[in-house]
Structure 1
Amino acid sequence: YFPRGIRTFNVVILGVGFLFIFTAFTTCGNVEQTVVKSLGNSTFTGSGYHSLGIIYGVFSFSNLLAPMIVTVIGPKFTMFLSGLLYSGYIAMFIVPSTWSFYLTSVLIGIGAAMLWTAQGQFLVENSEASTINRNTGMFWALLQCSMLFGNLYIYFDWNGRTEIPDNSRRNIFLSLLVISILGTLSFLVLRKSHHEEEMLSEEEGQSLLSTQTILQLLKTKTTLLLSPCMAYSGLELSFYSGVYGTCIGATAQFAEAAKGLIGISGIVVGIGEIVGGGLFGLLCKNSRFRRTSVVFLGMVAHFVAFYLIFLNIPDDAPIVFETTSLKKPYLTPRYPVFMII
């Protein structure tokens, strides 16, 4: 029982660490383009869109090398190091400069690959066949809550503002930095279980071969067929995590409520992820529903969401900050519609 208790403890701490780090990072991603465009510093020329593009581009390529790094220094310290890179990116917004903005974007892309590779290995090491579903569910439940808390802060601080002053920006990112550091430090509390020690020699051999295995998998029929779906999921993630909130904040028809609605939108996205994950998980257990059916339900939901966005968001909302110059959308934007989206 005691080793199992250690493993459950590790899974909970792992989830809490990711909850804190991604409370900071997802909130940062949701508002960063709005923050960047509101900077009064004429020497800063960075773009939040470019930053997110760098992060996920470097993330993609770094996944080929991450398994070797995890093998050398272990998943616990890999996650700790990655958390420091996430914290560095968030700290940059306190005193922003263009060069540090893009440098930390590269570093966090590398850190993301190491973090998620280490997380997967650590979760498996602390699970058995009888507990893997429970442990995965516990971890994802904690992770999905990360969309709620930071965005709630954004709503209360930005509601009624038409511009984001420097002192407000500094306070927000100082708070997010503290949260991220707490999540990073929590990884140091993780303990080595007896089950994990037994698996180390086998896992090390598998990890050293994983880069070669990845390259082989890229050539298989299944991976080639799945690639368009994977590419689409990346486009969709980048849209709702970085572009959609910016569009809401730049919609003139919301006037002074626009900036606060960025936070509310992020909260509702988080609720949608939690409810959707639970609902689709239950559907998958029903023998009448296959995974293909769940994918089709998601596709229909996306068709509805993107068509409503097309009708309700001004064409230039993603790129224009001065709300007085925005074009008019086809329909008059209303709060409930944006929350449904």
Structure 2
Amino acid sequence: MLVFTAFQTTSMVQKSVLDGAKSESNGTFNGDGYVSLGIIYTLLAFGNWIAPVIIMYIGAKWCMVAGAVTYLLFILQFLKPMEWALYLGSCILGFGAAIIWTGQGTFLTQNSNSDTMARNSGIFWALLQFSLLWGNVYSYTTLRGDFTITAEKRMHLFIGLGGACAVGLLCMFLLRTKASFTRDSEMEDLETVTPPSVKETFFKSFKLIRTRTMLLLLFPFIYTGLELTFFSGIYGTCIANNIHFGKDAKGLIGISGIIIGAGEILGGVVFGIFGKWTNRFGKDPFILMGFVVHMLAFYLIFLNIPFDAPYQESQRGTFIESSVILAMVCSFLLGLGDSIYNTQIYSIIGSVYPNDSAPAFAIFKFAQSLAAAICFVYSLKLTLEWQLLILVLTGTIASFSFFKVEWDIYRQNLFGSIH
């Protein structure tokens, strides 16, 4: 939680922070937050193909530890922004993020069974998203009150975030080490499975992605990447660039992040407590709920935020009077919808691929991260209304694809292979 307290806060303020550094540098610094995040998610996407092999060698716990080191290095380079350090740090973090995310998914599956997977997914997601609260409270108190982010404010912000990340790294050493390739089943006693070769582990990811079930799941994976980029990087920038919100607009990035986190946590807690409901009623009603929540958020953002706000400060008119309260409501809806989609994806991967969790989660993070990188690229050129249209279309396709997978599972009564 502490590692992602630092990084998720960083990703939300990165564009505005670097724009402030650029304005103070007199042309000596030209780093761009969207480009940096695009690099991170591109390398994260491709790094996920080799992450399962690394997990096989050193285990899920030590993959998470190694990944956390790269997060710390990336955050510390913001203390004195240099273009080469920004982009080199982005490259290193992209690979580190691949092993930490695939490691987390594997660690979760190794410590769950078919009865507890939905519950544990919800608890994991709620704990993860608490990071959005603490980091963004600190961000708000540090950045509010100025139209630009000064070097002094930047130093205060990233000293605190770097410290939180370092403490989180130390806490990871306390995680229990569980032998890889053990499977807990309600039908069998705990047993040790012979580990596959490196070659077998590496190519299993490519084999899985050609199966019908995984091909259908690719659409929800892609959608979560697009909406992740939107709420974690673009929407906060839109709020900060909305001059209608006055001098506190930069600080509102932090408030928005807190409220996004509240939505994420609510979704995680609800599905953690009522995880067994997904076994009884299926996952498709919850995906439908997430779809409705996100479509409402996109419509309200369309009405409330200037279309050119993703890439410049804007006083452009909106369809309704631009409202801070409405913007924060949209933040909550974005977080809640994201939590619903991700908890159900974690749950279905753990249920359908209990013995192939590492390659399955690698595919998930590959598709999600590549979509996130693409979103950062087109956000440099597309105005807000076109970005929202892309989210609406991909969200619709993703939801129907998830429904199809869930209906296939139901028809086979959770027995036999559906891959």
Normalising by structure 2, what TM-score? Answer: 0.70
- Is the 8 Å Cα contact of residues 251 and 313 (structure 1) preserved in structure 2? yes
How do residues 3-42 of structure 1 correspond to structure 2 at under 5 angstroms? Answer: 19-39=1-21, 40-41=24-25, 42=27
Q: How many angstroms apart in 2 are the aligned matches of 1:217 and 1:197?
A: 18
1:190 aligns with 2:175: yes
Q: CA deviation at 1:50?
A: 1.2
1:11-46 CA distances to partner (integer Å, 9 max, x unpaired)?
xxxxxxxx0000000000010001111111122212
Q: CA deviation at 1:206?
A: 7.2
1:296-339 CA distances to partner (integer Å, 9 max, x unpaired)?
22111111111111111111111114x5xx32222211121011
Q: CA deviation at 1:186?
A: 1.5
Query: Match of 1:54?
Result: 39
Query: Match of 2:242?
Result: 251
Structure 1 residues 83 and 250: alpha-carbon distance in aligned structure 2, compared to 1, 3 A threshold: same
Query: Match of 2:402?
Result: none
- Residue identity opposite 1:47 in structure 2: D
Structure 1 residues 116 and 208: alpha-carbon distance in aligned structure 2, compared to 1, 3 A threshold: farther
Query: Match of 1:319?
Result: 311
Query: Match of 1:205?
Result: 196
Q: Which of 234, 238, 261 pairs up with 1:270?
A: 261
Q: Which of 208, 216, 219 pairs up with 1:225?
A: 216
- Residue identity opposite 1:320 in structure 2: Q
Query: Match of 1:107?
Result: 92
Query: Match of 2:328?
Result: 339
For 1:205, what is the secondary structure of its paired residue?
coil
Q: CA deviation at 1:156?
A: 1.5
Q: CA deviation at 1:182?
A: 0.9
- Is the 8 Å Cα contact of residues 284 and 294 (structure 1) preserved in structure 2? no
1:185-219 CA distances to partner (integer Å, 9 max, x unpaired)?
222233445x6697797374277633212111211
- Residue identity opposite 1:318 in structure 2: P
Structure 1 residues 299 and 197: alpha-carbon distance in aligned structure 2, compared to 1, 3 A threshold: closer
Structure 1 residues 196 and 287: alpha-carbon distance in aligned structure 2, compared to 1, 3 A threshold: closer
- Is the 8 Å Cα contact of residues 234 and 310 (structure 2) preserved in structure 1? yes
1:290 aligns with 2:279: no
Q: How many angstroms apart in 2 are the aligned matches of 1:252 and 1:246?
A: 12
Query: Match of 1:236?
Result: 227
Count, aligned residues: 319
Per mean C-alpha deviation after superposition, the further-off stretch among 144-153 and 45-54 is 45-54
- Residue identity opposite 2:18 in structure 1: V
How do residues 61-100 of structure 1 correspond to structure 2 at under 5 angstroms? Answer: 61-100=46-85
Per mean C-alpha deviation after superposition, the further-off stretch among 196-205 and 257-266 is 196-205
1:146-183 CA distances to partner (integer Å, 9 max, x unpaired)?
11001011111222221111011011011101111111
Query: Match of 2:291?
Result: 299
Structure 1 residues 203 and 336: alpha-carbon distance in aligned structure 2, compared to 1, 3 A threshold: farther
For 2:5, what is the secondary structure of its paired residue?
helix
Q: How many angstroms apart in 1 are the aligned matches of 2:135 and 2:49?
A: 31
- Is the 8 Å Cα contact of residues 181 and 193 (structure 2) preserved in structure 1? no
1:37-71 CA distances to partner (integer Å, 9 max, x unpaired)?
11111222121111111111111111110111122
Q: CA deviation at 1:142?
A: 1.7
- Residue identity opposite 2:232 in structure 1: S
Q: What CA RMSD, in Å, does the superposition of the two structures yield over aligned residues? A: 2.5
Normalising by structure 1, what TM-score? Answer: 0.86
For 1:243, what is the secondary structure of its paired residue?
helix
Percent sequence identity is 40
Q: CA deviation at 1:287?
A: 7.9
Q: CA deviation at 1:78?
A: 2.0
Q: How many angstroms apart in 1 are the aligned matches of 2:61 and 2:138?
A: 30
Structure 1 residues 125 and 299: alpha-carbon distance in aligned structure 2, compared to 1, 3 A threshold: closer
| Structure 1: unaligned runs, 5 residues or longer | 1-18
1:107-143 CA distances to partner (integer Å, 9 max, x unpaired)?
1111111112222333344445665555544433321
Structure 1 residues 216 and 149: alpha-carbon distance in aligned structure 2, compared to 1, 3 A threshold: same
Query: Match of 2:411?
Result: none
